Structure 1
Amino acid sequence: MRSVLPLPIPRSLVELHRFDLSAPYTPASNFITWDVVSSPSGDTYALSRLRRYVQNAGSESDPPTSSFGYVILTRYSPEGTVAAIAVSASEHPRGALPTAANGLLQTLCILPGGTLTTNANPDRTALISPHLTDVLATYTEPARRPFEEVVPGDPFACSIDVTPSGRLLCVTAEYGTNRYGASQANIVGLADGSLTPDNKPTIRAIASLDPEPAHQSTDDLRPHVQFEGAPVGLANRPRPALTELLTSPSGHRYLDWGEAGLGRPAVLADDLFVVPVFERLTRRATRGRSFEFLLLDDHGAVRGKLAGLDQWRHSPYPGQHFTVVADPHRGHIFHLNNFGLFAWTRDGVLRCALDTTTKTFKPLTNFALKSFSPAGELVFVHNKQHLVLRMPTPEDLHDLPGAVENALRTYTRDRTALKKQWGPVNWHWPAPDVRVYHL
């Protein structure tokens, strides 16, 4: 089984749009990978985006001169070979996708039974067949804008994860959080039913971030997201909110969490989750701003937090690395940012911290942590070389340094082999003859 996987770009898209793979990236022209997940059967899926924005672009009927945006789904076999690619085109790089979820950030989830979901804000979810051949269903929500008539939708969640027993840990958005005229992630909830094309289960809200979103009306009530038997919205949501619980021992709020953000929760057990909370993002490289990784049970009670991180020396803000992943079977928790790879036990005790300012572990700063696989692997993406690294984790966290060193050596060796096989251009990997499905 390969430990390093290429993130491919279909040759047909490169040729259709005459996309210059050798050109340097700009904010308007780039290839990024949002998420990578693995199934219990060993298949791995990657969710990426290829886009180009051309000012004064030509007509859409002239692809070589036009703007474009594609979401690219890649499936790898358990052995690590590219088994299938699916693409979904948007009308504009910032437009809504017609068949797959769209948004600023997108996530993947594999449901019990193998169905793949893509999820994005505001609560847009697409169900896709395991072989990437079909979109089975979409649950969408039109973007809500101030002073415009509300267009009703059929939303579900902006992120989903599955607990060991098959419950769905969901994050849903609300309009007016932080007094913004937009929808943002605000509710953590659990769904015990199956999500299928014919069934959208009720999500039981267990925690909120902003306790009093502004400018809501009855149009903002979500019947499928409930708290105490009624739809979440207006004044009905779990209280106290997470921001109201972030206090000093004296009882006074030591930070201004009034414009906080909610990260994607990680499943630690059926009844225990890690929930990232961070201050409002201002500048991409802002260090010293406050953050917490809270341990939350399935009734919304805070059971502790991940200890041992300094808000300056271990800041996740440079590069916006707020991802936390967990191993439910061993009770381990992991986080990677520009300053270290950190590992905790189930009760939030820091057991291992690998300093990425040292020569040995500095290569980790080129990676982003994406998920934890059922096979016991940390799954990373190299941000510039567009490769996935699957790293087996040891039973004892004290053995993590050696496992990381070995994984980095494996990465260098396997990357060299892939370069000979694929012939990448500027670390772009034009896909060989693989079936491409258009969703």
Structure 2
Amino acid sequence: MILMPVTVPAVLIDEVGLDPAADSWRQEVLHAVGTPDGGAYVLSSLWRHDPRPAGDGGRGFGCRLITRHDPDGTALATAVLAQELPGRAPSVVVPGNDAALAVLPDGALAVSSRPGNTHLLTPALDALAAGWTMPANPRARDGAGPADDPFAASVAVTPGGRLLCLNAERNLGPWGVPLVNLVTLSEPAARPAVGHKPELRALATLGTERTRQSEADAQPHLRHGDAPVAAGHRPSPTLVEILPELVGGAAHRWKDAFLRRPVPIAEDRYVVPVFGRTHRAGSRGQVFAFVLLDDTGAVRGHLGGLDPYAHSPYTGDHFTVAADPARGTAFHLNRYGLFGWTADGALRAQLLTTDAPFKALTTFELLTVTPAGELLLAHRTQHLLLRVPVPAELAGLPAAVTEALAGLTRARNALKRRHAPVEWLWPEATGAVHHL
């Protein structure tokens, strides 16, 4: 077990005059990805709320941070992606929802977000290598703002170097807002670069009730067969049409379903999380499915064994599935437990948070599985990352998690002596800082 803080550069804390003991501030860990050498990139957001405008003494700010850590957790470099920092120009990395990281085979770091933003950063986090954007507001395409030139809303990398992506389409609904609707896959040697977007082959379509597309809405890099995806030219049947028979639930409960980040569980098999529409009054018991899709687009089952109510991911919005393709396992953590599956969808580990040894898991979010085979968990309020080695057999997972949680307090106290955090803000004086 290794515990590491989600740090904030001390020079940035001084620059914005952040007083963690007095200010109304918040930090949130958004995603992380392991590196082949045992380190990690961590994406977080940091902001301070002040309702007054800057001219009236307002001191609000907001930014995202990407920090590269070595295997011991020491910060090597931080990229500051500022949208609201006094005296700083907006970042060249366009913000978006559900931001995530991926390390490409050439070492570049891909930062993706909805509806179709992808930016490539150098491994040292000191420069933007390439970028593509997709405005969430369709009217922005005709005026000022980011260019309408999307690549993907989500990028993950298979063991063989293929890019497993989510993509948004235009003009699927009545308002013209881009909707994430496609699961796509690149060829092994395909790499995004300046002036080049590799082709992505459509594996599956989520489904829409109304399609208002024309050929003008096609994106040339999104392909189905020998032509771009557009209108009726797309994979069928849709996932929404398949899911009622695959996992149950009336067809109307899958209406307006949404996709979350797919991950490879093997080179030729992927876990695609699909969730039914959320409700204002609460969504516990709503349908969801972790679909197993192969590299031809065929549905090969799903991760089974979860009860829609007793194990609901909607309590607290836990929509992440992580996978370890080297060992053919997948994991999901929500308010009710940590679950582990084999590549055929069989549930082999179930650590319920009602059991005393695992109650502390309710304070953590699952981020990813590292190349070294470690679960990477983020503490939601203390801004700590817990790395839990996954045993060779999922039957050993309860013992591994129990051991990691038992050593949590001792490791946290050691970090507090080193960093002297205030209100769980962890300052870091080491590592280069780059404003991008």
- Superposition TM-score, scaled by structure 2 size: 0.92
Matched residue type, 2:185: L
Match in the other structure for 2:102: 109
Q: Alpha carbons of 1:346 and 1:381: their partners in 2 closer, same or farther (altered >3 Å)?
A: same
Query: What letter corresponds to residue 224 of structure 1 in structure 2?
Result: H
Residue in 2 that maps onto 1:164: 159
Distance 2:17 2:140 in 1: 41
Aligned to 1:205: 202
Of 384, 398, 401, which residue of structure 2 is paired with 1:401?
398
Deviations 1:103-136, CA, capped at 9 Å, x for gaps: 1210000000211011001211111011111111
1:32 to 28, 35, 38: 28
Question: How much has 1:84 moved relative to structure 2?
Answer: 1.0
Give distance in 2, aligned partners of 1:266 and 1:354: 22
Alpha-carbon distance change, 433 to 272 in structure 1, aligned in 2, over 3 angstroms:
closer
Q: CA deviation at 1:229?
A: 1.8
Note the C-alpha offset of 1:263: 1.1
**Aligned equivalent of 1:372:** 369
State the shift of 1:82 in Å. 1.0
Q: Tell me how far 1:342 sits from its aligned partner.
A: 0.5
* Secondary structure of the corresponding residue to residue 407 of structure 2: helix
Equivalence map 1:27-426=2 (5 Å): 29-59=25-55, 65-91=58-84, 98-145=91-138, 149=142, 153-177=148-172, 179=174, 181-192=176-187, 193-211=190-208, 214-248=211-245, 253-283=250-280, 285-426=282-423
The secondary structure found in structure 2 opposite 1:316 is: coil
- Is 1:18 matched up with 2:13? no
Q: Secondary structure, in 3 states, of the residue corresponding to 1:56? A: coil
Q: Is the 8 A contact 1:35 1:47 kept in 2?
A: yes
Secondary structure, aligned partner of 1:90: strand
One-letter amino acid of the structure 2 residue matched with residue 413 of structure 1:
R
Question: Residue 421 of structure 2: SS of its match in structure 1?
Answer: coil
TM-score, normalisation: structure 1: 0.91
For structure 2, the 5+ residue unaligned runs are none
Provide the aligned C-alpha RMSD in A. Answer: 2.5
Identity of aligned residues (%): 43
C-alpha distance 285-405 of structure 1, shift in aligned 2 (>3 A): farther
CA contact (8 A) 2:205 2:239 kept: yes
The one-letter code matched in structure 2 to 1:19 is: L
Give the conservation status (yes or no) of the 8 Å contact 1:127–1:197: no
- 1:343-362 Cα offsets, whole Å, 9 max, x none, are 11111111110110222101
Query: C-alpha displacement at 1:327, in angstroms?
Result: 1.3
Measured in 2, the distance between the counterparts of 1:357 and 1:307 equals 20
Report how many aligned residue pairs link the two structures. 430
Distance 1:302 1:23, change over 3 A: farther
- The letter for the 2-side match of 1:5 is M
Aligned position for 1:8: 7
Shift of 1:282: 2.6
Residues 248 and 254 of structure 1 are in contact (CA less than 8 Å); yes or no, is this contact kept in structure 2?
no
| CA 219–51 in structure 1, closer or farther in 2 if over 3 Å, else same | farther
Q: Is the 8 A contact 1:146 1:181 kept in 2?
A: no
* Cα-to-partner distance string for 1:374-425 (whole Å, 9 max, x where unaligned): 1010111110000111110001111111000111123222111000000011
Tell me by how many angstroms 1:224 deviates. Answer: 0.8
Partner Cα distance (1:31, 1:114) in 2: 27
Distance 2:249 2:133 in 1: 40
Q: Deviations over 1:262-298 (max 9, x none)?
A: 0111101121001110111234852111101111111
Kindly provide the amino acid, as one letter, of the partner of residue 3 in structure 2: V
- Check conservation: 1:284, 1:318, Cα contact below 8 A: no
Check conservation: 1:324, 1:334, Cα contact below 8 A.
yes
Summarize the Cα distance change of 1:79–1:179 in structure 2 as closer, same or farther, 3 Å threshold: same
Deviates more, 1:175-184 or 1:280-289: 175-184
